[in-house]
C-alpha cells in the first residue's frame, strides 16, 4: 500500500511557520500583509474557495478583503475595481477568483493586475519569469506540490516526471517547476497517443486533467509518486480526484488523497506569495 501524503498536515506546519514570519514582519514594519480577493457572481465552488482563503489569511495574521461583485458586473466595472486595488498601498496581493462569467475577458482582467501584486502568478511578466527561473511568485497549486515533495523528501533530480494536463494554471507551470528541479519532464494532454504507456514510465506522476478517477492502476508504474490535482464529484456526488485512489493506492509508492492532499497546499502558497509581495513593497 502506498504512503499517503497528508496535505493537511504539511499545510498546517508550513502555515504555522508563515504565521511566525508574518508576526515578525508586523513587529518590524508596523503593518500586516494585505490580500484582496475579488469574486464575480455566486458560483458555489468559488465561494467556498474564497471563504477558505479569507480564513487562512486571518489565521496567519494577514489582512484580508473580499470584494463581491454581481454576476452581471461589466468588464469596465471589474477593471475599475482591480485598478483601485492596484493603487491601494494597504493591498499587497490581488487575486481575481476564476472562472469569471463568460461575458468577461479573463486575460484582460489578469493583465490589469500589477505584476508585483499578482500573487496567483498569472500575468505575462510573472509567467515569463517562471520560464527563466527568476521569479518572485509561483502559481499556487504547482508551488504547493513542490513544497509537498520537498517536505516528503522526494528527490526530483533525474526522475521521469509526467504531467497530465497542459493548463496555464497547473499543467504548464508544473512542468516548468519540475524541470527547474532537474526532472525529465513529459507533458500529456488530450491528443497524446498511447497515454498509459507514457504514464507507466513516470517516477512522479502529476494528474490535472479534470476527469473523475481517470487514472487507473494499470496506468501507474509500481512505486511511483502520484499527485492528484483533481477536484470532482462522482455520480453519487462524492468528492473525488482525477485518480482512482482505491486502486492506484495498491500500486503507487506514495499518493495524495482527495480531499486533504494538494488543496490545502494551494492556499498555503497564496499566503507565502502575499507575504513576499508585502516584503517587496518595502523595496520601492
Distance of alpha carbon 80 from alpha carbon 73, whole angstroms: 11
Annotation says 236 is catalytic? no
Grid cell listed for 46:
468559488
For cell 494532454, what's the residue?
A: 189
Structural contact between residues 245 and 216, judged by C-beta atoms closer than 8 angstroms: no
Q: Which residues of 122-145 are buried (b: 16+ CB within 10 A; e: fewer)?
A: bbeebbebbeeeebbbbbbbbbbb
Considering only CA atoms, which of 231, 219, 218, 221 is closest in space to residue 261?
A: 231
**Residue from 8, 9, 43, 53 carrying the catalytic annotation:** 53
Annotation says 151 is catalytic? no
**Residue from 97, 172, 221, 228 carrying the catalytic annotation:** 97
**Residue from 117, 118, 120, 159 carrying the catalytic annotation:** 120
- What is the CA 82 to chain-centroid distance, rounded? 21
| Triad 158, 220, 143: Cα angle to 5° | 55
Annotation says 136 is catalytic? no
User: Phi then psi for 151, rounded to 5 degrees?
Assistant: -65, -35
Residues in Cβ contact with 264 at an 8 Å cutoff, skipping those fewer than 6 apart: 7, 8, 10, 11, 12, 144
Known catalytic residues?
Answer: 53, 97, 120
Amino acid at each position: 500500500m502506498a504512503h499517503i501524503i497528508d496535505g493537511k498536515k504539511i499545510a498546517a506546519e508550513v502555515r504555522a511557520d508563515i504565521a511566525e514570519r508574518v508576526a515578525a514582519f508586523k513587529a518590524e514594519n508596523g503593518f500586516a500583509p494585505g490580500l484582496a480577493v475579488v469574486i464575480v457572481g455566486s458560483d458555489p465552488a468559488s465561494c467556498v474557495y474564497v471563504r477558505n482563503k479569507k480564513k487562512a489569511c486571518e489565521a496567519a495574521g494577514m489582512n484580508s478583503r473580499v470584494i463581491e461583485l454581481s454576476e452581471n458586473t461589466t468588464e469596465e466595472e471589474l477593471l475599475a475595481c482591480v485598478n483601485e486595488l492596484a493603487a491601494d498601498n494597504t493591498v499587497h496581493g490581488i487575486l481575481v477568483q476564476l472562472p469569471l462569467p463568460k461575458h468577461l475577458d479573463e486575460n484582460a482582467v489578469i493583465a490589469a493586475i500589477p505584476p508585483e501584486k499578482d500573487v496567483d502568478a498569472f500575468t505575462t511578466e510573472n509567467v515569463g519569469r517562471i520560464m527563466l527561473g527568476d521569479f518572485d511568485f509561483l502559481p499556487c497549486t504547482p508551488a504547493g506540490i513542490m513544497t509537498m515533495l520537498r517536505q516528503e523528501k522526494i528527490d526530483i533530480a533525474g526522475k521521469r516526471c509526467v504531467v497530465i494536463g497542459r493548463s496555464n494554471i497547473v499543467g504548464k507551470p508544473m512542468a516548468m517547476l519540475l524541470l527547474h528541479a532537474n526532472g525529465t519532464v513529459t507533458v500529456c494532454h488530450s491528443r497524446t497517443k498511447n497515454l498509459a504507456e507514457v504514464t507507466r514510465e513516470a517516477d512522479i506522476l502529476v494528474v490535472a486533467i479534470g476527469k473523475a478517477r481517470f487514472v487507473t492502476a494499470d496506468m501507474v508504474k509500481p512505486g511511483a509518486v502520484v499527485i492528484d490535482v483533481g477536484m470532482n464529484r462522482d455520480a453519487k456526488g462524492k468528492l473525488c480526484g482525477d485518480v482512482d485512489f482505491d486502486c492506484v493506492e495498491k500500486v503507487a509508492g506514495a499518493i495524495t488523497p482527495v480531499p486533504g492532499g494538494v488543496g490545502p497546499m494551494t492556499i498555503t502558497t497564496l499566503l507565502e506569495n502575499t507575504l513576499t509581495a508585502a516584503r517587496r513593497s518595502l523595496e520601492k
